[in-house]
């Protein structure tokens, strides 16, 4: 807890410094709170709340989780670097070894179309390996035109759990909170609401309701169309 309190003190100092700099750049006498200041204040509040939470460790904490993605055709080769999911940046071999010194390793084997082939056993709730596989496959909300990242998305069951749907990769997609409400099954018949399914290639596609498209032609997010033509 002392480390967390020290972190809050450091953040407070940084926020105060940045706030003074921002005010001075505009007007030494200015009192207006800018969006950047509000974000800094929000960061301090988040850090304070996390430090005071009853489940927060007194020291140490959880180890980082390293996900190394390996295409199936390269599995037998000696890879010298890897990718970190999220920004998808390349990591040098030396840096990767350092990260792996104290980390949970999640092996994810990718097939020819980048589908996750092995992420562990099924559970009723979405597990960390399944969530990792969803992040690798979907890379954000699958609804066409949406730019919400994986961290801002829910894991949506295509066939609801209460209707016998499994918590497995082929029955899950990532959707943001807004689009989750749109595709969540309701009392309306299928043709009168938006639906999501996996295509023959294993990638998500969205079916519009009849009042939007009488043919209900499947639509895909741009990132999936780009993957198919790459």
For residue range 142-162, list pLDDT tens digits in order.
999 999 999 889 899 898 877
Predicted local distance difference test score (pLDDT) of residue 118: 43
Q: What is the DSSP string of 192-206?
A: GS-EEEE-TTS-EEE
Q: Percent of the chain having pLDDT more than 70? A: 47
The mean pLDDT value for 8-31 works out to 49
Q: How many CB atoms lie within 10 A of CB 37?
A: 15
Q: Is the pLDDT score of 199 beyond 70?
A: yes
For the purposes of burial, counting CB atoms within 10 Å of the CB of 149, is it exposed (0-12), middle (13-18) or buried (19 or more)? middle
156 by Cβ neighbours in 10 Å (0-12 / 13-18 / 19+) ranks as buried
**126 near 143, Cβ under 8 Å?**
no
Q: pLDDT band for position 27 (50/70/90)?
A: very low
Of 124, 128, 207, give the one whose Cα is nearest residue 168. 124
More confident residue, 55 or 126: 126
Q: Token pair of 17, please?
A: 């410094």
Give the residue from 68, 101, 204 showing the smallest Cα distance to 143.
204
The Cβ of residue 150 has, within 10 Å, a number of other Cβ atoms equal to 19
Find, among 107, 82, 85, the residue nearest to 96 by Cα.
82
Instruction: Report if pTM > 0.85.
Output: no
């Amino acid at each position: 807890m002392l480390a967390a309190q020290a972190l809050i003190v450091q953040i407070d100092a940084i926020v105060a410094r940045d706030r003074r700099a921002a005010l001075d750049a505009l007007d030494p006498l200015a009192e207006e709170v800018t969006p950047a200041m509000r974000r800094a204040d929000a960061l301090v509040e988040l850090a304070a709340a996390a430090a005071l939470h009853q489940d927060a460790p007194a020291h140490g904490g959880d180890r980082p989780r390293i996900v190394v993605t390996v295409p199936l055709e390269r599995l037998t080769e000696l890879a010298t670097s890897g990718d970190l999911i999220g920004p998808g940046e390349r990591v040098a071999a030396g840096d990767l070894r350092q990260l792996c010194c104290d980390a949970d390793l999640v092996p994810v084997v990718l097939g020819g179309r980048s589908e996750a082939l092995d992420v562990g056993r099924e559970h009723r709730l979405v597990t960390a390996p399944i969530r990792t596989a969803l992040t690798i496959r979907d890379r954000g909300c699958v609804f066409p035109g949406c730019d919400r990242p994986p961290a801002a998305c829910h894991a949506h069951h295509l066939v609801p759990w209460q209707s016998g749907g499994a918590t497995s990769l082929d029955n899950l997609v990532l959707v943001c909170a807004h689009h989750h409400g749109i595709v969540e099954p309701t009392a309306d018949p299928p043709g009168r609401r938006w639906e999501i399914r996996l295509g023959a290639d294993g990638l998500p596609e969205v079916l519009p309701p009849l009042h939007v498209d009488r043919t209900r032609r499947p639509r895909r997010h741009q990132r999936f169309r780009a993957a198919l033509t790459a």
